[in-house]
């Protein structure tokens, strides 16, 4: 019987992601389905229920965003400001914790994980962040707590054993420079958890992602786990629209996570031909995992919208198939079932 690490290596190799030097990457047969915050289109994001449903729907990886608590634990939230994803604003015992902070150059007001101990956060209940678009998910408000990354690792392992396949985790370090500045650096904490769980290896079922360059470089000195540079449209630390920019990323990362229109652009309200991003990234050995595919009209180009209103679901399958056809190595999605169905294998 294969060990979990051996099985993970087999899964990654099948997706064209075996641990190899940074050389040209061959086309892949089976892109990874990465459940963005779990099946977050159907359950409140970053809850164990959302991750469990994503695994049931056939995803390969579950994606937790990591932030720190006052007592140094890594918990899973979209942001360290938690009024949009928990019931903290309705809890009178925490009213005095409301604060305004400068985070990555932006003034933010609310309640922040770094002002709570893990025990205090565990008294809060999770809720849907986009209730107007996701009423079905909002029906599950109040049923789940804020999980730790260790709980997500444990869930991936136990559910993987139950369904008979390796389930990886794909953690994102959120605001690492900010957290380092308040004495709660994320890099060493994350590296320590990976080591403690036998995940400090190139072939382990884990990718570590970040929008910041220096934290990824710092993490590389602490762990052998794979790293992915996230890039949005607009100003970015590294320009992924040029071959030289991608070559620069390949010097410190194993993959790139572009906002999906950087790979398949929107042209006159429809999907245009693929850009050179995937080809150029593969040429320098980088995997390409675009984010984030969502089914609602609010997130789709006009030509793919269906029904009436922003919450109605459009032709998300067409977008997924276009990304697969462009040669991506995986996709982040809030709707794993749709991504698995569009993949067809």
Residues 6+ apart with CB under 8 A from 210: 172, 173, 176, 216, 219, 227, 228, 229, 230
Q: Are 68 and 76 in contact (CB under 8 A)?
A: no
46 catalytically annotated: no
Active-site hit among 73, 78, 282, 289: 78
Q: Which residues, in sequence order, are bridge partners of residue 99?
A: 110
**Sign of dihedral through CA atoms 215, 221, 223, 228?**
positive
313 catalytically annotated: no
* Cα–Cα distance for residue pair 267/319, rounded to 1 Å: 13
* Cα–Cα distance for residue pair 109/152, rounded to 1 Å: 28
Q: Which helix (H) or strand (E) holds 127?
A: none
Q: Which residues, in sequence order, are bridge partners of residue 35?
A: 62, 333
DSSP letter at 110 equals E
* Cα–Cα distance for residue pair 195/43, rounded to 1 Å: 30
Integer CA distances (angstroms), 274 to 211, 223, 319, in order: 23, 34, 12
Active site (catalytic) residues: 36, 78
């Amino acid at each position: 019987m294969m060990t979990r690490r051996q099985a993970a290596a087999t899964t990654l190799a099948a997706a064209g992601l075996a641990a190899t030097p940074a050389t040209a990457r061959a086309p892949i047969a089976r892109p990874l389905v990465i459940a963005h915050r779990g099946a977050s289109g159907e359950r409140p994001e970053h809850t164990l229920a959302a991750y469990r449903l994503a695994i049931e729907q056939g995803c390969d990886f579950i994606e937790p965003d990591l932030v720190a608590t006052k007592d140094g634990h890594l918990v899973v939230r979209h942001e360290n400001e938690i009024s949009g994803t928990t019931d903290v604003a309705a809890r009178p015992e925490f009213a005095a914790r409301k604060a305004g902070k400068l985070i990555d150059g932006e003034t933010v007001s609310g309640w922040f994980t770094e002002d709570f101990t893990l025990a205090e956060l565990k008294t809060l209940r999770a809720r849907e962040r986009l209730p107007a678009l996701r009423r079905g998910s909002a029906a599950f408000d109040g049923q789940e707590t804020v999980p730790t990354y260790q709980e997500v690792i444990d869930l991936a392992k136990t559910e993987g054993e139950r369904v008979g396949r390796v389930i990886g985790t794909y953690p994102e370090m959120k605001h690492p420079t900010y957290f380092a500045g308040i004495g709660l650096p994320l890099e060493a904490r994350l590296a320590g958890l990976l080591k403690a769980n036998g995940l400090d290896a190139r072939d382990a079922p884990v990718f570590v992602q970040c929008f910041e360059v220096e934290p990824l470089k710092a993490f590389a000195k602490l762990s052998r786990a794979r790293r992915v540079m996230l890039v949005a449209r607009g100003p970015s630390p590294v320009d992924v629209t040029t071959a030289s920019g991608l070559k620069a990323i390949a010097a410190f990362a194993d993959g790139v996570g572009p906002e999906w229109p950087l790979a398949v652009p929107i042209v006159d309200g429809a999907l245009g031909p693929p850009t050179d991003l995937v080809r150029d990234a593969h040429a320098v050995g980088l995997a390409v995992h675009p984010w984030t595919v969502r089914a609602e009209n609010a997130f789709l180009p006009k030509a793919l919208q269906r029904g009436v209103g922003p919450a109605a679901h459009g032709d998300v399958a067409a977008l997924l198939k276009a990304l697969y056809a462009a040669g991506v190595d995986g996709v982040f999605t809030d709707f794993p079932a749709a991504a698995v169905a569009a993949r067809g294998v």
